[in-house]
């Protein structure tokens, strides 16, 4: 498999001189299976430069897996140029919206209301299909298997495990490790802690031995104290998680939009230092910051 990063920022696009090295587009990751099948994880603004490359590879058959429908993960979808061209096919996958009580088919309908966008879905000339996924139920894309796992975010958020010819990658989307809503000693604390311990154990079991973990690492551990409940992870927490899983590589992504490249490198170095990470250490994962254009081959 080949994995390429087209958008690596969280919350809002952050272009400018301070984000040139790592990029300012929001989340979009391209995965190519061994037979060339195209899997796209999220449709943030990074999907637009991906589209420009795909126009040279017509016709396009794309499988777009949405982790969730917050703006920074969907805002590039109406600008995915292959949607407008006859002969292309785009299948969009995602979770069931428990508030709207509708599946992923509503994603374009809501975005393309005429008050907010000048083109309606009916004017798009590609073949567009939708598939609402169930937790843990895998789908096949070419020679790859994609399995959605429910993670922790203020809305339904699927992380996706992709397996192909013995290699595996998992992308969290936005994820905050489950925490106890009760204070130690409060009635209900022990029971709730047992539940979240079980959730963590089940997720770890599903992801054991990954070749590549791509994880929402928006904050540092120090910053997280004021961000609890926002639905995002930390650099330090994901380093510990990758070690626990036995992952061969960890890519930290969803960079905080106000963090300039220099600051991003500084907090990353601090996180590695506090974790006592040894790049050549036995059993240690390779750890990277995601940047636009970075490509990994598994």
Better-scored residue on pLDDT, 109 or 157: 157
Distances (CA, A) of 110 to 102, 113, 118, 121, 173: 12, 6, 13, 10, 21
pLDDT higher than 90, residue 282? no
pLDDT higher than 80, residue 278? no
Rounded distance, CA 103 to CA 131, Å? 8
Q: 240's torsion region: left (phi>0), alpha (psi -120 to 50) or beta? A: alpha
Name the band, by pLDDT with cuts 50, 70 and 90, for residue 276. confident
pLDDT higher than 90, residue 83? yes
Which CATH number belongs to the domain containing residue 245 in this structure?
Answer: 3.60.15.10
What does the pLDDT read at residue 99?
Answer: 79
Length of the chain: 298
Yes or no: say if 130 and 91 are a contact pair by the CB < 8 Å rule.
yes
Distances (CA, A) of 220 to 215, 233, 239: 13, 8, 11
Residues facing 234 on adjacent strands: 219
Better-scored residue on pLDDT, 216 or 99: 216
Element (H, E) at 47: helix 47-54
The domain of 215 spans 2-297
Distances (CA, A) of 165 to 33, 35, 63, 142, 144: 9, 10, 19, 11, 8
**Tokens 């001189």 label which residue?**
17
Q: Give residues with Cβ within 8 angstroms of 99, minimum separation 6.
A: 155
Q: Give residues with Cβ within 8 angstroms of 254, minimum separation 6.
A: 8, 9, 10, 27, 174, 216, 217, 218, 232
Q: For 124-154, write each residue's pLDDT tens digit.
A: 999 999 999 999 999 999 999 999 999 999 9
**Tokens 């590879």 label which residue?**
57
Work out the burial of residue 165: count CB atoms within 10 Å of its CB; fewer than 13 is exposed, 13-18 middle, 19 or more buried.
exposed
Token pair listed for 227: 């961000």
The mean predicted confidence, pLDDT, of the chain is 95
What does the pLDDT read at residue 265?
Answer: 98
What does the pLDDT read at residue 281?
Answer: 72
Rounded distance, CA 89 to CA 127, Å? 5
Pick from 17, 3, 27, 20: nearest CA to 255: 27
- 184: cis peptide before it, omega within 30°? no
* Tally of domains within the chain: 1
């Amino acid at each position: 498999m080949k994995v390429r990063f087209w958008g690596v920022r969280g919350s809002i696009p952050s272009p400018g001189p301070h984000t040139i090295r790592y990029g300012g587009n929001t989340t979009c990751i391209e995965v190519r299976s061994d037979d060339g099948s195209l899997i796209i994880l999220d449709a943030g603004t990074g999907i637009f430069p991906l589209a420009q490359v795909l126009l040279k590879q017509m016709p396009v058959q794309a499988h777009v897996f949405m982790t969730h429908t917050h703006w920074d993960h969907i805002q590039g979808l109406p600008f995915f140029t292959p949607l407008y061209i006859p002969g292309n096919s785009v299948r969009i996958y995602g979770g069931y919206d428990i508030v709207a009580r509708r599946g992923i088919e509503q994603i374009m309908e809501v975005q393309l209301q005429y008050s907010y966008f000048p083109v309606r879905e009916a004017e798009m000339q590609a073949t567009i299909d939708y598939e609402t996924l169930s937790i843990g139920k895998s789908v096949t894309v070419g020679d790859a298997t994609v399995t959605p796992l429910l993670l922790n975010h203020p809305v339904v958020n699927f992380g996706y495990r992709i397996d192909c010819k013995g290699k595996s990658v998992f992308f969290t989307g936005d994820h905050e490790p489950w925490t106890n809503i009760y204070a130690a000693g409060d009635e209900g604390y022990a029971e709730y802690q047992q539940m979240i311990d079980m959730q963590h154990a089940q997720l770890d079991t599903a992801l054991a031995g990954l070749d590549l973990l791509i994880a929402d690492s928006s904050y540092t551990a120090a910053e997280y104290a004021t961000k609890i409940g926002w639905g995002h992870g930390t650099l330090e927490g994901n380093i510990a998680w990758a070690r626990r899983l036995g992952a061969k590589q960890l890519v930290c992504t969803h960079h905080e939009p106000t963090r300039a490249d220099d600051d991003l490198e500084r907090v990353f170095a601090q996180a590695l230092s506090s974790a006592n990470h040894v790049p050549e250490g036995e059993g240690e994962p390779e750890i990277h910051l995601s940047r636009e254009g970075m490509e990994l081959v598994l």
